[in-house]
């Protein structure tokens, strides 16, 4: 008997990304900003002022201005690149998650991250989860006032294309079942105590991941009467995932970093 294809049975072929070479980021994607390393001789202030979240800073070196971008603040609006297109360009490669907040800053003459595909990171993650937890990693997502953009991307991790459960990661309904808290939003004042209670209800050892520019630094919402200006103002954060919002490929890198941190006992 002729075997029916997946498409005939399911209505779709198998859509999950499986190839380790699949780097599906579109060249148009606004992933992160990059500095052309040639020194900048124009008006520094016009660039600094163009940034709505004050993500850019510069060293006060008279001869040669060194610019730095804090990826934890950058919301990828591209205004700086409009102000100085010859000096700042937008690249499709997204900024990587980090363990320490100060690592989010990147200087115009320093260099960048590994480029692993979703599948590669996923496989590595599966091995580590197996070693550390025996079987699976449980995540509780907490929205501390985000605009829902980060939630869309976190939900996308569960769709058949990324299907993060195949690596042994699943989202649980209660913080009491969780190993990892995935927190989004600038921590609004109205969510502050709920976030703290959620953290306290999570059994140790626990890892907190701040997802998105708002969670890392307050993002465009900043530090106002209604926000606290970042998750780490309320609870300790172990991993920062930059982006507005971070795409699934970056989210899974962040999870890998979180598991790494658990294995090395917080280092």
Partner 1 sequence: MNKIWIEKYKKDILGRFENKIDKTWENYNELHLFLKSEQDIPKICNYVYSDLVTRLTTMICTDERKLGNGFVIRHVFGKENGEDVFIFVTSKIDESYPSIALTIPAAILHEREIHDMFGIIPIDNPDTRPLVLHDHWDKDTFPLRKDFGLNTKIPRQEREYPFLKVQGERICEISVGPVHAGIIEPGHFRFSVMGENIINLETRLFYAHKGTEKLAESMKIDDVLLLSERIAGDESIANSTAFCQSIEKITSVTIPKRAQQIRTIFGELERLYNHMGSLAGISMDAGFPFGSARLNILKERLMKLNESLSGSRILFGVNRIGGVRCDIVDESRKILTETMESILPDFENIVTLLKSKSSFIDRLKDTGMISKQFAHDLGVVGVAARCIGIDVDTRRDHPYSTYLLHKKETPQEVMQREISMQKRKGDVLTRFEVRVQEVRESFDIIRTSLSLENDGLYTSIPHNLEPFKSALGYAESHRGQTVHWVMTGENNSIFRYKVRTASFFNWPIIEQAVLNDIVPDFPLVNKSLDLSYSGNDL
Alpha-carbon gap, residue 267 to 252, rounded angstroms:
19
CB of 65 or CB of 172, closer to partner 1: 172
Q: Which of 39, 79, 99, 136 binds partner 1 (CB under 8 A)?
A: 79
Q: Read out DSSP for 45-62?
A: HHHHHH-TT--EEE---S
One symbol per residue from 89 to 128: x for binding partner 1 (CB under 8 A), - otherwise; what is it?
A: -x--------------------------------------
> Is 92 in contact with 26 (CB distance < 8 Å)?
yes
Shortest reach from residue 63's CB to partner 1, in Å: 31
196 contacts partner 1 (rule: CB under 8 A): no
265 contacts partner 1 (rule: CB under 8 A): no
> Is 48 in contact with 57 (CB distance < 8 Å)?
yes
Alpha-carbon gap, residue 152 to 14, rounded angstroms:
22
In angstroms, how far is the first alpha carbon of the chain from the final one?
57
221 contacts partner 1 (rule: CB under 8 A): yes
Q: Which residues contact 116 (CB under 8 A, 6 or more apart)?
A: 124, 253
Shortest reach from residue 20's CB to partner 1, in Å: 19
State the residues that interact with partner 1 by CB under 8 A.
10-12, 15, 24-26, 28-30, 52, 75-79, 90, 140-156, 158-162, 171, 173-175, 185-186, 188-191, 193-195, 198, 219-227, 244-245, 247
């Amino acid at each position: 008997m002729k075997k029916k294809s997946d498409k005939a049975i399911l209505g779709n072929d198998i859509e999950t990304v499986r190839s380790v070479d699949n780097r599906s980021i579109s060249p148009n994607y606004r992933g992160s900003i990059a500095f052309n390393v040639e020194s900048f001789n124009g008006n520094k202030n016009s660039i600094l002022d163009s940034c709505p979240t004050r993500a850019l800073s510069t060293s006060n070196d008279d001869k040669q201005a060194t610019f730095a971008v804090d990826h934890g603040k950058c919301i990828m609006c591209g205004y700086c690149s409009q102000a100085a297109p010859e000096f700042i360009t937008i690249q499709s490669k997204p900024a990587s998650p980090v363990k320490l907040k100060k690592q989010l800053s990147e200087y115009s003459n320093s260099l960048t991250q590994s480029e692993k595909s979703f599948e590669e990171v996923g496989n590595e993650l599966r091995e580590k989860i197996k070693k550390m937890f025996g079987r699976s990693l449980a995540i509780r997502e907490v929205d501390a006032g985000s605009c829902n953009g980060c939630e869309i991307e976190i939900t996308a991790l569960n769709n058949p294309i990324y299907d993060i459960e195949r690596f042994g990661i699943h989202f649980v309904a209660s913080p009491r079942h969780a190993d990892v808290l995935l927190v989004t939003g600038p921590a609004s004042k109205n969510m502050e105590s709920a976030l703290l209670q959620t953290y306290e209800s999570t059994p140790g050892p626990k890892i907190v991941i701040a997802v998105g520019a708002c969670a890392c630094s307050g993002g465009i919402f900043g530090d106002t009467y209604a926000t606290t200006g970042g998750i780490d103002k309320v609870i300790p954060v172990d991993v920062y995932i930059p982006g507005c919002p971070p795409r699934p490929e970056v989210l899974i890198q962040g999870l890998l970093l979180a598991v790494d941190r658990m294995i090395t006992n917080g280092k």
